[in-house]
Structure 1
Amino acid sequence: MGTTKFILGSAAVVTMLTSSAFAEDMTGMITRIDRLNGTISIQQTQKGTVGASTGNAGALQEYKAKDAAMLDAVHAGDRVSYTATETNGTGTLTKLQKQK
């Protein structure tokens, strides 16, 4: 019984560490900004080769901005590159840059 609890506990810790430490540069289009709550919704741009798209848009994700000031330079409809992490199911935007 003790070994089983140890293995399950270790698996839970590994899952939490990988999800909270995961950060990847992504691109997308801003669909909504809530400056009062410091949140932003971004429609992720699909990755892949030309012609491979099935016509479906990428995932829409809402993030909490690490620093609310990063939302001041962008508007809905802007294409952006961004980095986000996820901790306990909550996405946090750590970098946001408007594309030219």
Structure 2
Amino acid sequence: MRAVGITLATVALFAGTLPALAAEQGTAGMVTGINRLNGTIAIKRVPNGTVGANTAGAAQEFKIKDNAMIENIHAGDRVTFSTSDAATPTIIKLDRQK
């Protein structure tokens, strides 16, 4: 009986951390558009240089956690970003590359 309780507690712990593990961390891209009124940003992912990665695909639109994050960001800037794993992809960290 005790082993079942420990197993269930462990499963619950891992299930709670899965969204954080699935979130994208440190992805690179180029800003293709910003909508400051709606708090969204469109980013085209930059290929990582592996064989066959010469096309990055279309830009994806993300919600911004805090509008202050995009104050110094402009279309054409290269950025690194991290997103939360939610129904609507939300950028939780955004850094402009120099």
CA RMSD of aligned residues (A): 2.1
CA distance in 1 between counterparts of 2:27 and 2:53 reads 20
Matches within 5 A, 1:28-67: 28-49=29-50, 52-53=51-52, 55-67=54-66
1:71 is matched with 70
Residues 71-97 of structure 1: CA deviation (Å, up to 9, x unaligned): 111000000011111212x10001111
Residue 89 of structure 2: SS of its match in structure 1? strand
Paired residue total: 83
Aligned 8 A contact 1:46 1:58 in 2? no
Report if the CA contact (8 A) 2:69-2:94 is conserved: yes
Aligned to 1:84: 83
**CA shift for structure 1 position 42:** 0.3
1:96/1:54 CA distance change after superposition, 3 Å: closer
- Residue 17 of structure 1 and its aligned partner are, at CA, apart by 6.0
CA shift, 1:58, in A, is: 3.9
Q: TM-score, normalised by structure 1?
A: 0.71
> How much does 1:24 deviate?
1.2
- Establish whether residue 96 from structure 1 lines up as the match of residue 94 from structure 2: yes
Q: State the Cα distance separating 1:23 from its structure 2 match.
A: 3.4
* 2-structure distance, mates of 1:70, 1:98: 10
Shift of 1:59: 4.8
Unaligned runs of 5+ in 1: 1-9
Secondary structure of the residue aligned to 1:24 is: coil
TM-score under structure 2 length normalisation: 0.72
